[in-house]
Amino acid sequence: MEKIILIVGPTGVGKTSLSIQLAKKFDTEIISGDSMQVYREMSVGTAKVTPEEMQGVKHHLIDYCSYKDDFNVMIFQKEARKIIHELVKQHKIPIICGGTGLYIKSLYYDYEFNDEEKDEDFEAFLKSRSEDECWNMLRIVDPASLEKIHKNNRKRIERALMRAHMGNKKSEAEERQNHQPVFDAFVIGLTADRDYIYQRIDERVDVMMNHHLLEEVSSLITSMDDFKLQSLQGIGYKEWEAYFKKEATVEETVALIKKNSRNFAKRQYTWFNHQMNVHWYDITQEDFRKQIEQDLEEWRKEIIC
RNA sequence: GGUUCCUUAGCCAAGUGGUAAGGCAAUAGACUGCAACUCUGUGAUCGCCAGUUCGAAUCUGGCAGGAACCU
């Protein structure tokens, strides 16, 4: 199996900085596992690495497309795996660093995506149906998928119906998978006390404001319809809609961004703690970086043997 | 000093006699093509004391804290 290093953890723990340190030490490159940093026009609110911070280390899947483009897990998985294979050929151990749980897992585990053509008619049809109608349809078409989707989760129910409609039922596809990793990965998780993380998140939002977050958002919005873009559903962006409608002040918006970021961090913990085997390191420990390097060295030796 | 009003979970807040809506926050969790998305679970005996009543957050009295007005 190909060897990769995964760096995960909640927003604002310092994944970026660690990834660059490790990339330099092991002479390799970094693949971003982040669903928002792919948009080239969005840098401040996504806390994207700056060219100076990169220190010459090559980064992939950052500034990949425009915020007006569609991006999704399938594209991510395909692109990221392609880059991994190339790096491994050069005898490098790719570092994947990011906080988007689904993206990381889809790359690490044997998730399979098929090429799909958008069926807008069927999409519109689903939108026109009531929640009960959708749920009942799915109960007939792919009842097994209901085990993992709650009745109120309209979005997931619509997707499952779409898959069934395209002849690629969710439950059957997952039945065919082994639910095992397809890479030999060392998963590094960065963590700290919840209070400390929350404090760092609040501070980071203040820094974003000083780095002209509001100006960045303004530059992206040409009409209020732009707030419907998937890219602008990101935290740090969607909250400004109320501000532009004059329904909220800057202070209220900033407070909301902080709150949403904290809630997001909590969800990231839930994901990484339960979806994959993570080696957690506390960033408030003096020598955590050294410890990680040591553990990685040992892990590398195991590989050679 | 006097008059009136207020006091329900961390916050906002319904509920005027039959054993406490809801929202936010917090917290736990789910997640296979929008995932920084979407969704799910979890909390109080109603400021304190006494009384009326079969039964009080809801009525009466006292105390405490707060608000407004008057002198």
Which residues in 103-142 of chain A line strand B, with CB less than 7 A from it? 103, 106, 111-116
In-domain check, residue A28: yes
CB-proximal positions of chain B, under 7 Å: 25-40
Same domain, A229 and A295: yes
In-domain check, residue A206: yes
Last residue of a domain, one of A172, A194, A210: A172
Same domain, A99 and A150: no
Same domain, A200 and A125: no
**pLDDT by 10s per residue, chain A, length 305:** 899 999 999 998 999 999 999 999 999 999 999 999 999 999 999 999 999 999 999 999 999 999 999 999 999 999 999 999 999 999 999 999 999 999 999 999 999 998 888 888 898 899 888 888 999 999 999 999 998 999 999 999 999 999 999 988 999 999 999 999 999 999 999 999 998 999 999 999 999 999 999 999 999 999 999 999 999 999 999 999 989 988 888 988 999 999 999 999 999 999 999 999 999 999 999 999 999 999 999 998 875 55
Same domain, A196 and A299: yes
In-domain check, residue A269: yes
Task: Quote the pTM value.
Answer: 0.90
In-domain check, residue A177: no
pLDDT of residue A127: 87
Which residues in 194-253 of chain A line strand B, with CB less than 7 A from it? 194, 230, 233-236
Measured over the CA atoms of residue A217, residue A240, residue A54 and residue A86, the dihedral's sign is negative
What token pair was written down for A134?
A: 């959708």
CA proximity to A87, closest of A6, A2, A181: A2
Domain that holds residue A283: 3-112+183-304
Same domain, A237 and A138: no
Same domain, A291 and A227: yes
Whether the CB of A165 is less than 7 Å away from nucleic strand B comes out as no
Whether the CB of A267 is less than 7 Å away from nucleic strand B comes out as yes
Same domain, A165 and A34: no
Nucleotide nearest to A110 (CA to C1'): B32
pLDDT of residue A117: 84
CA proximity to A10, closest of A145, A183, A200, A173: A200
Same domain, A62 and A204: yes
Nucleotide nearest to A112 (CA to C1'): B32
DSSP strand E in chain A: where?
A: 3-8, 30-32, 59-60, 95-97, 184-191, 279-282
pLDDT of residue A131: 86
Q: DSSP readout, A239-264?
A: THHHHHTTSS-HHHHHHHHHHHHHHH
In-domain check, residue A279: yes
Beta-sheet pairing, A279-282 with A59-60 = unpaired
CA proximity to A163, closest of A111, A103, A104, A123: A123
Which residues in 75-104 of chain A line strand B, with CB less than 7 A from it? 99-103
In the DSSP assignment, the letter for residue A276 is S
pLDDT of residue A303: 56
Same domain, A167 and A187: no
* Gap between the Cα atoms of A98 and A7, Å rounded: 6
Same domain, A18 and A90: yes
In-domain check, residue A244: yes
Same domain, A66 and A149: no
Whether the CB of A169 is less than 7 Å away from nucleic strand B comes out as no
Rg (CA), chain A: 21
Q: Fill in the amino acid letter for A60.
A: H
Nucleotide nearest to A37 (CA to C1'): B36
Helices marked H in A34-169 — which ranges? 51-54, 73-89, 101-108, 120-128, 131-141, 154-165
**CATH number for A40:** 3.40.50.300
Nucleotide nearest to A166 (CA to C1'): B33
Same domain, A96 and A220: yes
- CB-CB contact of A45 with A211 (8 Å): no
The angle that helices A120-128 and A154-165 make with each other, rounded to 10 degrees, is 140
pLDDT of residue A215: 95
Total tally of structural domains belonging to chain A: 2
In-domain check, residue A86: yes
In-domain check, residue A178: no
pLDDT of residue A252: 87
pLDDT of residue A71: 95
Q: Which helix (H) or strand (E) holds A12?
A: none
Task: Determine the distance between A23 (CA) and B63 (C1') in angstroms.
Answer: 70
Q: Fill in the amino acid letter for A242.
A: A
Helices (H) and strands (E) in chain A, counts: 13, 6
Kindly give, in sequence order, each residue whose CB lies less than 8 Å from that of residue A268, ignoring residues fewer than 6 positions away.
A8, A9, A10, A11, A99, A101
Which residues in 13-72 of chain A line strand B, with CB less than 7 A from it? 34-37, 45-47, 71-72
What token pair was written down for A240?
A: 């400004």
